[in-house]
Structure 1
Amino acid sequence: MDWNSLKVFLAIVRHGSLSSAATELAVNHSTIFRRLNAFEQEIGGQLFDRKNNHYELTALGHELLVLARNIEESFDSIDRHLVGKDIQPKGVVKLTAPNNIAYRYLPQYIAAFNRRYPEIHIEVLVSNQAFNMSNRQADIAIRATTTPPEHLVGRQVATLNWSVFASSKYQGQLALPKSCDGLAEHNLIGATGNMARLPAFKWQDKHYLDRITTRCDDLTAMSYLAEAGHGLALLPDDQARPELIKLFSIPALPPSKIWLLTHPDLRNVARIKLVMRYLTTCFAKEWAVAT
């Protein structure tokens, strides 16, 4: 049995579609379709039922999934072990980061890093979602979290307060508030979706629900809504930029903590260690870490 066939099978399981599986494996849709058909012919049974354009496992597929995941973990472990022996400062480093950090901060950091280490090539994966770092979808993750996953290692590189922001397009409608006492007189931008579960937005909904006129599920988009004059936005301080006016911080809210994380098997890889160390320095200069 070809390991590549199992990789195709697992990618389809993860995504539920051929096109998304093709994107993960960097091949085209027809290649995935052909490999799946060949694999099903090889094992003599159907692995998926197609329902509403979604690929769902058959009984045979469920049986294979247990075995395939064990094999995948073994291959991933071997891969991480071998990569962990790499002491040469060259090669590819896959770095995943949330939108704002990827847009606002990483381009200048990476440009300077590339001048120092031209043989290390950084691939940036922009996402707020968790990547599987056991199978090296990403080598390093920048994440805003108070509880980093226990199976990863790293360090906290920044502590960011939550503050209220406005813009010149909103300024002038009413006198801008200097504390939370004045928020009840203003239009506010709130959160929806998973973002609404954050402590800052639970606090906002509890105290100012009737003042929220616009909602959004992305912090960077909220900042642009504020810039356009929709209202005041409650944001972590990494969202600060010249187009926004920072009014005041809210000490009662738990800060946003930025972590730099990797898999334990990869922490001594030369290129990954260099990127981790460099980014730690960059973030320390950008924002002071609370102690």
Structure 2
Amino acid sequence: MINWNDLRVVLAIVREGTLSAAGRSLGVDQTTVTRRLAALEEGLDARLFDRREGRLIPTAAGEEVISRAERAEVELAALERDVAGRDTKPGGLVRLTSVPTLSNRLLAPRAGALFARYPDIELDLIAEPATLSVTRREADIALRLARPTEDGMIARRLGAILYAPYALAAVAGRADLPWITYEESFAAIPQAKWIAREGKAPLSPLRVNDGEPILQAALSGLGRTLLPVFVGENETRLTRLDDAVTSREVWLVVHPHVRRSARIDAVVGWIDGIFAALKKQGAVE
């Protein structure tokens, strides 16, 4: 009989590329990965991987096992969600992921209100620039800065975060104050596009890939930049240089099975309350 843990090893090898990396992702050593792979190959009487230039490449049999293992992974996650969704009171663990700016500057400072109302809720807040999969249960809830593309998910637009230019008050009057912008791989986001199109001053030699370092650079007096209004208005050392000039949509994503649980309802309601307050403050439209 095939062991699910052995199939997890196969998926880890495919996703990580090497036995050692697969072991790290699973929290086991390389010897354990090798042993489990060998046991699965022996049980199936088939070689699942060829080694080429230091990496493991699936054979035809391996591709078949991988395809079925991926389907099994999705089905097992769905089963877990179905059972977890039957709880009737707001309690238990919820995994919420979003980009670091939303996690650090919006959600974490307001988590106390969630726990005060629902003391049995536990929240794993995952500040992650990369997109974690709600489908594979890497997260229960996700906040995305673009329309989601995952099939079968419940997705709802929460609003659009407004961005305005800010600078350290002590240097805000300088006409030659440079613009701090994003590195090349982030050139398509609205803030970077606006700075490239409308920024009249030179660009700073510093380029970043996240909202937190761009905020810290502005606070150090290194230049001006675009910040979410809800961030800029809470930093007393900064001066707002103009009205909001661009925005980014925020979408809430939840798996339909998980959405039925009281713990998910509680966290979604808390998020809705945060965005309702931001709209009243003029930080979200």
| TM-score by shorter chain over 0.5 | yes
CA distance in 2, matches of 1:90, 1:205: 47
Q: Which amino acid aligns with 1:186?
A: L
For 2:236, the equivalent position in structure 1 comes to 242
Matched, 1:279 2:279: no
Structure 1 residues 115 and 34 mapped into 2: Cα distance closer, same or farther (>3 Å)? farther
Q: Which amino acid aligns with 1:237?
A: V
Superposition deviation, residue 5 in structure 1: 1.3
In the TM superposition, what whole-angstrom CA distance separates every residue of 1:166-185 from its partner, at most 9, and x where no partner exists?
Answer: 114534xxx25xxxxx6xx4
Give TM-score, length-normalised by structure 2: 0.83
Superposition deviation, residue 272 in structure 1: 0.7
For 1:79, the equivalent position in structure 2 comes to 80
Structure 1 residues 237 and 77 mapped into 2: Cα distance closer, same or farther (>3 Å)? same
The gaps in structure 2 that reach 5 residues or longer are none
Q: Which amino acid aligns with 2:238?
A: L
1:224-263 to 2 correspondences below 5 Å: 224-240=216-232, 241-251=235-245, 253=246, 255-263=247-255
For 1:28, the equivalent position in structure 2 comes to 28
Q: Which amino acid aligns with 2:131?
A: A
Structure 1 residues 22 and 278 mapped into 2: Cα distance closer, same or farther (>3 Å)? farther
In the TM superposition, what whole-angstrom CA distance separates every residue of 1:87-119 from its partner, at most 9, and x where no partner exists?
Answer: 242221111121122222323322332233232
Structure 1 residues 199 and 111 mapped into 2: Cα distance closer, same or farther (>3 Å)? closer
Q: What secondary structure sits across from 1:73 in the alignment?
A: helix
Say whether the 8 Å CA contact 2:142–2:253 is kept in structure 1: yes
Q: 2:195 aligns with which of 179, 200, 204?
A: 204
The gaps in structure 1 that reach 5 residues or longer are 177-181
Q: Which amino acid aligns with 2:125?
A: V
Structure 1 residues 11 and 125 mapped into 2: Cα distance closer, same or farther (>3 Å)? farther
CA distance in 2, matches of 1:154, 1:235: 25
1:1-291 to 2 correspondences below 5 Å: 1-18=2-19, 21-22=22-23, 24-25=25-26, 27-30=27-30, 31-49=32-50, 54-145=55-146, 147-149=147-149, 151-168=152-169, 170-171=171-172, 175-176=173-174, 185-208=176-199, 211-213=202-204, 214-240=206-232, 241-251=235-245, 253=246, 255-288=247-280
Q: How many percent identity over aligned positions?
A: 29
Say whether the 8 Å CA contact 1:9–1:36 is kept in structure 2: yes
CA distance in 2, matches of 1:18, 1:106: 37
Superposition deviation, residue 135 in structure 1: 1.8
In the TM superposition, what whole-angstrom CA distance separates every residue of 1:248-291 from its partner, at most 9, and x where no partner exists?
Answer: 1344x3x1122222111211111111111112112322444766
Q: Which amino acid aligns with 1:108?
A: P
Q: Which amino acid aligns with 2:130?
A: Q
In the TM superposition, what whole-angstrom CA distance separates every residue of 1:141-163 from its partner, at most 9, and x where no partner exists?
Answer: 12222x23353224333422221
Structure 1 residues 234 and 108 mapped into 2: Cα distance closer, same or farther (>3 Å)? closer
The RMSD of aligned alpha carbons is 2.7
CA distance in 2, matches of 1:124, 1:28: 25
Q: Which amino acid aligns with 1:99?
A: P
Q: Which amino acid aligns with 1:244?
A: L
CA distance in 2, matches of 1:92, 1:51: 42
Superposition deviation, residue 204 in structure 1: 2.1
Q: What secondary structure sits across from 1:89 in the alignment?
A: coil
CA distance in 2, matches of 1:97, 1:41: 42
Q: What secondary structure sits across from 2:257 in the alignment?
A: helix
With 121-130 and 83-92 compared, the bigger mean Cα shift is at 83-92
Superposition deviation, residue 46 in structure 1: 4.1
Superposition deviation, residue 22 in structure 1: 4.6
Superposition deviation, residue 121 in structure 1: 1.3
Q: Report the count of equivalent residues.
A: 277
